[in-house]
Structure 1
Amino acid sequence: MKIFRAAILAGSIGACALNTAIAQETAPTETPAYKLYRATPTKINDLVHTKLDVRFDYAKRYMYGKEWVTLKPHMYPTDTLRLDAKGMDLKTIAVVKNGKNTPLTFTYDSLSVAIKLDRVYTAAEKYTIYIDYTAKPNELHVKGSAAINDAKGLYFINPDGTDKDKPVQIWTQGETEASSCWFPTIDRPNQKTTEEITMTVPKQYVTLSNGRLVLSKVNKDGTRTDTWKQELPHSPYLFMMAVGDFKVYKDKWRNKEVSYYLEPKYAPYAKDIFGFTPEVIEFYSKILGVDYPWYKYSQIVVRDYVSGAMENTSATLHGEYVQGTKRELADRYYDAGRSTIVHELFHQWFGDYVTAESWSNLTVNESFADFSESIWAEYKYGKDAGDAHSYEAMQSYLNTPGAKDKNLVRFHYNDKEEVFDVVTYQKGGRILYMLRNYLGNAAFYKGLNIYLKTNGLKNGEAQQLRLAMEEASGRDLNWFFNQWYYGAGHPVLNISYKWDEGTKTQTVYLQQTQDGNAFTLPMAIDIYAAGKKTRHQVWMRDKADTLTFSVPSKPDLVNVDGDKILLTKKTDSKSLDEFAYQYFNAGLFLDRNEAIDYAKSRQSEKTAQKIIIAAIQDKFYMLRVKAINVADLTKDDVRNLAVPILVRLAQTDENNLVRAAAITALGKLKASGNMNLFKQSLSSQSYAIQGAALTAIGLQNPAEALPLAKSYEKDSEGALTQAIINTYASAGGDAEWPYVSKAISEMGPQTQFGIMPKFAALVGRLKNNEYALAGVKTIADFGVRFKQYVGPQVAEILGTVKDARAKAGDTASAAAAEKAIADLK
């Protein structure tokens, strides 16, 4: 699963306040629940095969189901069976003998059902239970998490068709244990079962499930019955169904079907959105040495999804944010959508083919999927892109309060949903990136191959991963797994230097300042002297270490962690000259990124200017964007050097985001000589470039920007839509309100929060009091929804609206704002 928080953070070097706020986590609380040891669920009975026959009541939001579930005792004889079955009406439970149903007695507490079998069964015997039931997901009240904001398993989207802007859909979400909201099962990740699902649906709708479509029959009553079979075993939380008006694009990988299910509006862009999928399947199959294991691979995009995406076996379900038109996708590069697509695909091996045996060991699912995003970026877009993605993941972890107190493998938690966090995802992914660097590609991927082949179609945990890596590499890895998998935190590393000219000795002082024990850190130290780089492989095993190196002449640079791979928060006491040398000679993404960070606050100095000006032209677009954003154009020297380059980049750079950043920087100068450039940029097919150009024109001449904004209303998305709203916030009024109100309502929460202050400015000066009241409600509703994250910030925004409406004599809107402020306290 790609959690929504991670999805909206991906693809940008910085994150705004809402993402930061939502990412906040607290240290584990010592509650009675937390003190429980979360053991792997005991197996009394094993699932063998699950057969379902379902139909849907759209009006009632019910699903009528018949189930035949085949099981066997795991080891010891038993005459009882307990199944998870949340919020259902259980009408009949019977054992199937010779084609006949013999009713069984059972007790049901609304969450699970205890069944008395007809006799004692041994581990050598299978038995089949028949259940006639009704699932009522909308009447079920269950707890979600930061990863999954709802957990009712089965979702009816616009079932009565009252929302004309939203399609009618049904889809399921099983992780963590919500499949048992729509069919009785042993809803634990350490269970595996084959599957057959028969769905009867209105004949105009398309269905999708795991495995292959084996039968499709049109019925006389206007329905159609589709039967899907998943013939390899997988865990119950990976079961899925989807029903709706989807257009299907058929692709292929080798001899297997690869298909993309999209709403008709986005069907023409199916290849633009998902078309690289076969290439990813080929890449993963080759590096893992295990071919894609399932019958087919489908991807479907649904409305109102409760998370980012979900890796259901052979049938991944995505939230809306992965889709886009050709023009929208042209601005995204390796964005949240593309990284999600590869993330879920890697799960087909790590999570589906081998599944974490318990939520405590979720790392063997999610850390790998997070890691896969970086290795795909590296393969497809180059090492800078892979390193940048891994670095962003590490920063998400390091900047999350409370994360350092949590183990990666977690046998203690208050609720299983807590394990879906930046430790399991981003920290775990970075740890694997580190392990690959330590072992080398050949040994690392051989270890993954051993792990997959040893545990295929079964369950795995971190210890099995350790054993596989040790077998492949021949190295003991207990030290690595003990500190990174079974311990918490990370090293906080201070680095300082001393050169002794008399003895020609370079000393490096390393100090770990975190609480607790020292981390064992193998690392490369690169010494650049007399035009030559010498690499030294060292181990830091104590809290403080002093290293000395004989060097013929004073080094130009001592580069600790030369591979820029350690998971650490570090303070490095290099000088500006040394960071400049690092930028121009060390070469890795993080080498250059660190130099930019150091130089950005020192732009009065020539050396810092040299770094920034070079970085504006860096080979990697993300660093070009970063350097453009931090260049201090209020300084004459910087501006004189940068502006000619920015003009060139704004016109000719191959990357739309770089061009947009250059236009934005030039726009802030309010120089009339750039107006033609901005107007020419409005003709671009890039929404990012158009948005930057419109904003730049508005900064120079708001009156001229207003009619231009109106001319683009009918064909705007993303950055251009935001620019139009910004223009209206600065120079618009009641005439522009309908567009702004509708556009805001269609934005995601991240974008809404970023634009909220300017939206509030427009609300504050509206003449129509009803419009103003609606604007106050929009802000207030957003504040209530995200109160725990950004309540104070939204209250402050509402305060400005209240003052403006009171000044305009609009007592109703002012009072509504005042009440909303009180509600947010």
Structure 2
Amino acid sequence: MRKVSLVILALGILPHLRAQQIEEPTPDTSWKTQYRESAPRINDLVHTKLDVKFDYSKSYMNGKAWITLAPHFYSTDSLMLDAKGMDISKVAIVKGGSTQPLKYNYDGWQLNIDLDKTYKGGEQYTVYIEYTAKPNEVKVQGSAAITDAKGLYFINPKGEEKDKPTQIWTQGETEATSVWCPTIDKPDQKTTNEFIMTVPAKYVTLSNGKLVSQKNNADGTRTDDWKMELPHSPYLFFMGVGEYSVIKDSYKGKEVNYYVEKEYAPVAKKIFGNTPEMMGFYSKVLGVEFPWVKYSQIVGREYVSGAMENTTATLHQESAQQDARELVDGNGWESTIAHELFHQWFGDLVTCESWSNLTLNESFANYSETLWDEYKYGKDAGDAQNYGDMQGYIQSQSEKKDLVRFYYNDKEAMFDAVSYNKGGRILHMLRSYVGDSAFFKALNLYLTTNKFKSAEAHQLRLAFEEVTGKDLNWYWNQWYYGAGHPKLSIDYTYDDAAKKVQVTVKQTQDGNKVFVLPFAIDIYNGAEKVRHNVWIKEKETTFSFPYDKRPDLVNVDGQKTLLAEKKDNKTLENFIHQYKYAGTYLDRREAIDFASKTQDNPKALELMMLALKDKYFGLRSFTIGKLDLKNETVKKQAEPILAEMAQKDPKSTVRASALGALAQYNNGVYKSLFTKYVNDSSYTISGISLDALFKLDSASAVAEAKRLAKYPAKGKLAESMTTILIKSGDESGFDIIAKAFNDMPLSQAKFNMAKPFCEFLGIVKDTKKVKTGVDMVIEFREALAPYGVAPYINDLLNKVIKKKEATGAPAEQIEYIKTKMESEGKKGF
């Protein structure tokens, strides 16, 4: 799963909220004494068959379930199933072609069944259950971090919202499948399944495995039968229903399908079309062919958890659906597509034994994004992805959390930057330490040894030890069963008389923990490099290296793979040499960052100008963002380069950055350029050009914004257009502004828009429009409430109230806002 909380973290929303000094409630710490063991296996699931029909008018699902099980080892005469919030109408044991009623006790959460006899270990039996699932009536228990756990979602079931399709989709992780399917809802269970769905004939369906039959019924419905013949965990069960275009693709004869809303059918392959190549790449590096019978991806409305790796049937948030203009800037969902696909091996084929071991699923899916970018777009792209994820972890301030955690306040809390980002970086360091060949061979051994089973982190260690012949307990104890990361201060002392350089590395992190770190120190004379592989095992370690000529550069962590915060006390000359000769993405980024702090220095400025032409587009944009354009020398030297980049750089996002920088010149000579690029095919270029035009000629920009509002707009253009219309103070633009805000997916752009949108509501006089706008803000608040957004949004709405009171607005408006602010937030996942 790719959780929204992590997407928000990566976008910088949470750090922004911390800056707002929002108060957090006093936490409950009783969980610190509760050991989270793996779920005991008394009965094992063997096969799950469902026959279901959906009641759209009530958002109910009527189901019949045949569940085959066997005692795990010890004999038992009872069965406990998770079955949340259901109406249970029948429980029976299947005997041949008939059923016999069983006694049971149901508390609304768990179904305790007295079996007809004592069954021995491994002796199979089948129970039959008739029930009604009522997902909207389920009360979530014990999860502050989860925004919704109702498992089964009816989207616009009665068709009352004209601009929203009618859909049904399920979300099982962590333990919400049991809202719609009686089961043993634990990740260490594995079962095959067959799901039979009867739906209106106009809809298509998707589930695990293969569609084996379809039957048209006399009442205008159709019955689809899906069979999954390989075992997987209940949280990976999936049902999807809706009016979709199904775009067909293939991988080695296997079905690969993309379920999208009809308007996105023409670009579906531009969004998802790299999937077969990804499948081939991952199969090759892992030495394990894609293990399932088919792979489909479907997009669900109002799905707030990013994406979910249901076996053979991944569900994506609607943000995956990008139009052709968005895709000009690149596929913003490609990393998520890679992430969820890799889960088909790590998470689905081999599943974490318990939520304590979640990183066995999520660290690999996270790291797959780096692997894919490295393979598809080059090492710089892979390193950039890796660095961004490392910063996501560091900024999360999670130093006190172990990677494998046996103590947590709720299982949902495991879905964090430690399980994902930190875990991925630990895999990256491990790959660097053991080498590519051993790394991927060990992954192959882990997968083949544990396929169709669950595993814990020690089984991963044993696979690496068997392949490498090395004892790796030290690595697992430090990184998997420990917390934190090193903070390093690095100093250099050159002694030309003695012809040696001393490199001192100090670990400066708080506490007594000392990290054991193997890494490379590279010594450069010109382009010539000598690598020294070293270890540090103390709080302070000094290395001494002889030289004939003073080195141009001593580069600690030469491979740039350490998960660490580093204060590297090099000179500007060292960093310039590092940029030119060391060459990795992070080598160059570090050098640019250092030079940007001393742009008055001609050598530093020379490096900045050189970096504007870096081979990797991400570093060109990074350099533009670091230019001090208040410095007249910098401004003058950069201008011709920026003007050329704005028009000729091969990457649209770099052209956009250059246009944004040119806007800071406030030079009327660029007005025609900005006016031209307002009409660019890239939403980003168009939006930034509109902002730039507004600085030079606000009236022209407002006119352009009103013209552009007649056409579809997303991303930066929607943000810029809306902000400019708000700044114009023209209430007649409300419908345009409100639609733009409402249509934005959960994103940094929408978060940025919340403040000006609320300011705009403060001047809107029409009560109906005020209520409409407030409802949109509240809906946004509720979607992100579990991540601490609510107090910030409430503060914005309080300011609207004060504005209304100061201007004598109708009391009805003020009371409506107050009532909405006080309303209880929706429960959610």
> In structure 2, the residue corresponding to 1:297 is in which secondary structure?
strand
* 1:340-351 pair list within 5 angstroms: 340-351=336-347
CA distance in 1, matches of 2:41, 2:662: 65
* Structure 1 equivalent of residue 490 of structure 2: 495
CA distance in 2, matches of 1:644, 1:344: 43
* Structure 1 equivalent of residue 743 of structure 2: 746
* 1:427-576 pair list within 5 angstroms: 427-514=422-509, 515-576=511-572
> In structure 2, the residue corresponding to 1:265 is in which secondary structure?
helix
* Structure 1 equivalent of residue 3 of structure 2: 3
Q: Is the 8 A contact 2:299 2:321 kept in 1?
A: yes
> In structure 2, the residue corresponding to 1:55 is in which secondary structure?
strand
Q: Of the candidates 171, 174, 177, which is equivalent to residue 173 of structure 1?
A: 171
* Structure 1 equivalent of residue 826 of structure 2: none
> In structure 1, the residue corresponding to 2:428 is in which secondary structure?
helix
CA 442–39 in structure 1, closer or farther in 2 if over 3 Å, else same? same
Q: Of the candidates 48, 51, 57, which is equivalent to residue 53 of structure 1?
A: 51
* Structure 2 equivalent of residue 270 of structure 1: 268
CA 25–469 in structure 1, closer or farther in 2 if over 3 Å, else same? farther
Report the AA paired with residue 420 of structure 2. Y
> In structure 2, the residue corresponding to 1:591 is in which secondary structure?
helix
CA distance in 2, matches of 1:718, 1:546: 50
* Structure 2 equivalent of residue 631 of structure 1: 627
1:395 paired with 2:391, answer yes
Higher relative contact order (Cα pairs below 8 Å, separated by 6+ residues): 2
CA distance in 1, matches of 2:733, 2:675: 22
* Structure 2 equivalent of residue 39 of structure 1: 37
CA distance in 1, matches of 2:628, 2:819: 39
Q: Is the 8 A contact 1:150 1:306 kept in 2?
A: no
CA distance in 2, matches of 1:155, 1:21: 35
Q: Is the 8 A contact 1:174 1:238 kept in 2?
A: yes
Q: Is the 8 A contact 2:493 2:502 kept in 1?
A: yes
1:332 positional shift: 3.3
Q: Is the 8 A contact 1:87 1:139 kept in 2?
A: yes
Report the AA paired with residue 63 of structure 2. G
Q: Report the more deviating stretch, 219-228 or 553-562.
A: 553-562
> In structure 2, the residue corresponding to 1:578 is in which secondary structure?
helix
> In structure 1, the residue corresponding to 2:640 is in which secondary structure?
helix
* Structure 2 equivalent of residue 655 of structure 1: 651
Q: Is the 8 A contact 1:650 1:662 kept in 2?
A: yes
* Structure 2 equivalent of residue 361 of structure 1: 357
1:682 positional shift: 2.5
Report the AA paired with residue 242 of structure 1. G
CA distance in 2, matches of 1:669, 1:497: 41
1:617 positional shift: 1.7
Q: Of the candidates 714, 718, 726, which is equivalent to residue 717 of structure 1?
A: 714
The TM-score normalised by the length of structure 1 is 0.95
CA distance in 2, matches of 1:390, 1:778: 36
CA 264–376 in structure 1, closer or farther in 2 if over 3 Å, else same? same
Aligned residues: 820
1:613 positional shift: 1.6
1:800 positional shift: 5.7
* Structure 2 equivalent of residue 588 of structure 1: 584
Q: Is the 8 A contact 1:798 1:821 kept in 2?
A: no
CA distance in 1, matches of 2:292, 2:457: 24
CA-based RMSD of the aligned residues comes to 2.6
CA distance in 2, matches of 1:338, 1:388: 15
* Structure 1 equivalent of residue 725 of structure 2: 728
Q: Report the more deviating stretch, 217-226 or 545-554.
A: 545-554
Q: Is the 8 A contact 1:202 1:222 kept in 2?
A: yes
* 1:83-98 pair list within 5 angstroms: 83-98=81-96
Q: Is the 8 A contact 1:7 1:340 kept in 2?
A: no
> In structure 2, the residue corresponding to 1:618 is in which secondary structure?
coil
Q: Is the 8 A contact 2:767 2:813 kept in 1?
A: no
1:354 positional shift: 0.7
CA distance in 2, matches of 1:171, 1:776: 28
CA distance in 2, matches of 1:103, 1:778: 50
Q: Is the 8 A contact 2:17 2:792 kept in 1?
A: no
Q: Report the more deviating stretch, 607-616 or 207-216.
A: 607-616
CA distance in 1, matches of 2:416, 2:214: 41
CA distance in 1, matches of 2:791, 2:727: 24
Q: Deviations over 1:168-194 (max 9, x none)?
A: 111100111111111111111111111
> In structure 2, the residue corresponding to 1:306 is in which secondary structure?
coil
CA 15–615 in structure 1, closer or farther in 2 if over 3 Å, else same? farther
CA 654–490 in structure 1, closer or farther in 2 if over 3 Å, else same? same
Q: Quote the sequence identity (%).
A: 51
Q: Is the 8 A contact 2:193 2:228 kept in 1?
A: yes
Q: Deviations over 1:94-120 (max 9, x none)?
A: 111121101111111111111111111
1:775 positional shift: 4.8
1:814 positional shift: 9.0
Report the AA paired with residue 163 of structure 1. E
Q: Deviations over 1:199-223 (max 9, x none)?
A: 0111111010000011100000111
CA distance in 2, matches of 1:196, 1:360: 29
Unaligned residue ranges in structure 1 (runs of 5+): none
CA 369–804 in structure 1, closer or farther in 2 if over 3 Å, else same? same
CA distance in 1, matches of 2:667, 2:641: 15
Report the AA paired with residue 62 of structure 1. Y
Q: Is the 8 A contact 2:17 2:789 kept in 1?
A: no
Q: Is the 8 A contact 2:75 2:120 kept in 1?
A: yes
Q: Report the more deviating stretch, 302-311 or 774-783.
A: 774-783
The TM-score normalised by the length of structure 2 is 0.94
> In structure 2, the residue corresponding to 1:467 is in which secondary structure?
helix
> In structure 2, the residue corresponding to 1:603 is in which secondary structure?
coil
* Structure 1 equivalent of residue 401 of structure 2: 406
Report the AA paired with residue 740 of structure 2. A
1:810 positional shift: 3.2
CA distance in 2, matches of 1:352, 1:282: 18
Q: Is the 8 A contact 1:148 1:306 kept in 2?
A: no
* Structure 1 equivalent of residue 693 of structure 2: 697
1:500 positional shift: 1.1
CA distance in 1, matches of 2:347, 2:181: 21
CA 792–238 in structure 1, closer or farther in 2 if over 3 Å, else same? closer
1:599 positional shift: 2.3
CA distance in 1, matches of 2:791, 2:24: 19
Q: Of the candidates 582, 590, 594, which is equivalent to residue 598 of structure 1?
A: 594
* 1:59-208 pair list within 5 angstroms: 59-143=57-141, 148-208=146-206
Q: Is the 8 A contact 2:491 2:504 kept in 1?
A: yes
Q: Deviations over 1:336-367 (max 9, x none)?
A: x1111000000000000111111111111111
Report the AA paired with residue 597 of structure 1. D
CA distance in 1, matches of 2:8, 2:407: 28
1:600 positional shift: 2.2
1:418 paired with 2:413, answer yes
Report the AA paired with residue 611 of structure 1. L
* Structure 1 equivalent of residue 309 of structure 2: 311
Q: Is the 8 A contact 1:86 1:112 kept in 2?
A: yes
Q: Deviations over 1:396-432 (max 9, x none)?
A: 111112x111111111112111111110000001100
